[in-house]
Amino acid sequence: MANNQWYKELAVYQIWPRSFKDGNGDGIGDLWGVLEELDYIKSLGVDAIWFSPLYCSPNADYGYDISDYRKISPEYGDNELFKKVLDEAHKRGLKVIMDLVVNHTSDEHQWFIESKKGKDNPYHDYYFWRDGKGKDGKKPPNNWLSVFEGGAWEYNEDLKQYYLHVFAKKQVDLNMDNPKVREEVKEIMKFWLDMGVDGFREDVITFISKAEVRPNGFPLPICTGLEHYKKGPHIHEYLSEFRHDVLDKYDCFVVGESPMTDAKTALEFTDEHGDKELDMMFLFDHMEADCFMTDTIHLPFNLKKMKKAFANWHKTLDGKGWPALYLENHDHPRIVDRYGDLNYRIESAKMLATMCYMQSGTVFIYQGQEIGMTNFHLDSLDQFKDVVTFNNQKIFKKLGFSDNFYLKVANKTSRENSRTPVQWTSGEYAGFSTTEPWFHLNPNYKQINVEQAENDENSILNYYRKLLKFRKENPIVIYGDYKEHYKESDKLYVYERNYEGKRLLVISSFSDKPVTFNAPEGFNLKNGKKVLGNYTTEKLTDNGFIMNPYETRVYLFE
Ligand code: GLC
Ligand code: CA
């Protein structure tokens, strides 16, 4: 059984600021908009906000390329306004966590500008500068490819050296082996913690240590070299240092983003009996039930794959680590389009929330998820904006696919799908702004919006509220154990939870056809109370029922 700690009981709402709400009428979401909607956020029943980066950034990767870690971008407001949002959030009992992006800085960060000035510049070693190979030194130091944009090395004519960028060209990898860089990171953490923030979501944090000798990597279409930094030689050392020197001194929590990490590896970072470098990690395996490795390589949804991922987390982390439960964020298309069914948008969105958030773990909900926002359909590739979309376009082209084909792929799989402005009303610009928004509105805002959802007792929004309230009032959801039934079913996801003599049975159908459900041995549904569900029917057939399309029910046995 897990030890109780406050961060375990949180439900966190993620704001991707550019598309949340525009408060000053320039078409770009901002902190004025957030201030207007704090009561709405609170009304969901969440306990915290995670802000995707708000700092100064040239927006090569929309905020994930930071040019000043201590300054809020003028597009979003300023530090004073941020402090006001922070205080107002705290007044409402909402904690606030910031995105900490320290694998790389923007190439427009002062450190990088200095580091380019010469090999003897004190900032030169803040980054990975290396001589090229070949007679003229114009071959990159190794074969590494970036995750986002071609080769991982970029040549600088003045210095006649290459710098490393594991992501986009404008996202320059910091040399964490340099103790001065680690001191900078600690100072940045302190700056925000001293201001009163309650923790961090640490961006691709497991990538921050890179092998000293940088050998060639196993050739892949993207991110060749990954094996040399995915969990680099000093990663535990550096994260322990941050923990002991900073985090331990504050009552805060940290969630690390860790692509390509399994639950067993996550324990190395989060074990409650160990150093506990991070409190929890965002794993990715449950998001790979309809794709291969990356969203871009789309496959039909495979329920068993998803169930296995969840089961594996609970088995591996049980009593030692803590899961971060999420279905959406700014890096993935919308979940109803993926694991749900647009023909049953409302039913399947409620079902997905139930099957995920009735599990043990800290809850993360992404803006718009609570009203069941969906993917878009853009008509041409030049309507997209993200560096990743364009990189993938090049890769598809190289592999012989037409742009027309790729357009279909991008519409289905691009992370830009989750970045359309939040749909507040059916009115002009969806109530997001008073002017043309920076990015396309999904035309379905006329039907799908917060205002509509507020006025409909049976909306997805109101279901999220009920669900979060139930979670809060019933510690079994947070601390109960996990036992799965009908593991082999490719239509049903059924699990039970046990805690202090109570039992919970969570039954979800992933089928658009009726499915027969019989209660697992040891359960008599007549003795249980149906506490949550997405259909009003209560009818039982013996000790089971015929499930409606995408039906979900939660029974509590006291
Ligand atoms: C993380 C962020 C993503 C960003 C990348 C590079 O995966 O979530 O949005 O592009 O890191 O910083
Ligand atoms: Ca604005």
CA distances from 65 to 291, 501, 509 (A): 27, 50, 41
Count of Cβ atoms closer than 10 Å to residue 325 Cβ: 21
Pocket test of ligand 1: the residue of 167, 202, 229, 419 to mutate, having most ligand atoms within 8 Å of its CB, is 167
DSSP code for 382: G
pLDDT at residue 505, as a whole number: 98
Q: Which residues pair with 256 in a beta bridge?
A: 202, 281
pLDDT at residue 101, as a whole number: 98
Q: How far is CA 89 from the centre of its chain?
A: 21
CA distances from 116 to 65, 110, 157, 160, 355 (A): 17, 10, 10, 10, 51
Q: How far apart (Å, rounded) are the C-alpha atoms in residues 322 and 320?
A: 7
The 3-class secondary structure across 230-288, one letter per residue, is CCCCCHHHHHHHHHHHCHHHCCCEEEEECCCCCHHHHHHHHCCCCCCCCCEEECCHHHH
Q: How far is CA 331 from the centre of its chain?
A: 7
* Cβ(331) – ligand 1 distance below 6 Å: yes
pLDDT class of 2 with cuts at 50, 70, 90: low
**The model's pTM:** 0.98
Instruction: Give the rounded percent of residues in the chain with a pLDDT score beyond 70.
Output: 99
pLDDT at residue 221, as a whole number: 86
* Cβ(289) – ligand 1 distance below 6 Å: no
Instruction: Decide if pLDDT at 4 tops 80.
Output: no
Q: Which residue has the tokens 């006001």?
A: 84
Q: How are beta strands 544-547 and 515-518 bridged, if at all?
A: antiparallel
Average pLDDT rounded to a whole number, residues 383-387: 98
- Catalytic residues, which ones? 203, 257
Three-state DSSP class for residue 170 = coil
Q: How far apart (Å, rounded) are the C-alpha atoms in residues 131 and 195?
A: 41
- Tokens (6 digits) for 88: 């107002």
Average pLDDT rounded to a whole number, residues 276-295: 96
pLDDT at residue 1, as a whole number: 44
Closest ligand 1 atom number to CA of residue 168: 6
Closest ligand 1 atom number to CA of residue 64: 12
Task: Take atom 6 of ligand 1 and give the residue whose Cα is closest.
Answer: 64
Q: Which residues pair with 496 in a beta bridge?
A: 483, 505
Phi and psi for 106 in degrees, rounded to 5? -70, 155
Q: Which ligand is nearest to the CA of 76?
A: 2
Instruction: Decide if pLDDT at 168 tops 50.
Output: yes
Average pLDDT rounded to a whole number, residues 10-31: 98
* Cβ(167) – ligand 1 distance below 6 Å: yes
Q: Kindly give the distance from the C-alpha atom of residue 203 to the centroid of ligand 1, in angstroms, as a whole number.
A: 6
- Tokens (6 digits) for 294: 């990356």
Pocket test of ligand 1: the residue of 19, 54, 61 to mutate, having most ligand atoms within 8 Å of its CB, is 61
Average pLDDT rounded to a whole number, residues 149-157: 95
Q: Kindly give the distance from the C-alpha atom of residue 20 to the centroid of ligand 2, in angstroms, as a whole number.
A: 10
Average pLDDT rounded to a whole number, residues 80-91: 98
Q: Which amino acid does the sequence have at 500? A: E
Q: How far apart (Å, rounded) are the C-alpha atoms in residues 547 and 492?
A: 10
* Greatest Cα pair distance in the chain: 81
Nearest to 66 by CA among 188, 245, 149: 188
pLDDT at residue 214, as a whole number: 85
Q: Which residues pair with 96 in a beta bridge?
A: 49
Phi and psi for 276 in degrees, rounded to 5? 50, 60
Q: Which residues pair with 533 in a beta bridge?
A: 553
Closest ligand 1 atom number to CA of residue 415: 9
Q: Kindly give the distance from the C-alpha atom of residue 150 to the centroid of ligand 1, in angstroms, as a whole number.
A: 16
> pLDDT tens-digit profile of 314-370?
999 999 999 999 999 999 999 999 999 999 999 999 999 999 999 999 999 999 999
Average pLDDT rounded to a whole number, residues 82-103: 98
pLDDT at residue 232, as a whole number: 96
CA distances from 326 to 99, 153, 243 (A): 16, 33, 24
pLDDT at residue 3, as a whole number: 64
Three-state DSSP class for residue 344 = helix
pLDDT class of 42 with cuts at 50, 70, 90: very high
- Tokens (6 digits) for 458: 């049976």
Instruction: Decide if pLDDT at 156 tops 60.
Output: yes
* Cβ(204) – ligand 1 distance below 6 Å: yes
> pLDDT tens-digit profile of 189-220?
999 999 999 999 999 999 999 998 889 999 99
* Cβ(173) – ligand 1 distance below 6 Å: no
Which residues contact residue 122 at a Cβ distance below 8 angstroms, ignoring those fewer than 6 apart?
114
pLDDT at residue 538, as a whole number: 78
Q: Which of 20-29, 83-92, 271-280, 464-473 has the lowest mean pLDDT?
A: 271-280
> pLDDT tens-digit profile of 478-514?
999 999 999 999 999 999 999 999 999 999 999 999 9
Which residues contact residue 248 at a Cβ distance below 8 angstroms, ignoring those fewer than 6 apart?
none
Closest ligand 1 atom number to CA of residue 330: 9
* Cβ(495) – ligand 1 distance below 6 Å: no
The beta strands (E) that lie in 417-523 are given as 483-485, 492-499, 502-509, 515-518
pLDDT at residue 361, as a whole number: 97
Average pLDDT, the chain: 97
pLDDT at residue 274, as a whole number: 85
Pocket test of ligand 1: the residue of 51, 107, 201, 204 to mutate, having most ligand atoms within 8 Å of its CB, is 204
Three-state DSSP class for residue 104 = strand
pLDDT at residue 537, as a whole number: 84
Three-state DSSP class for residue 547 = strand
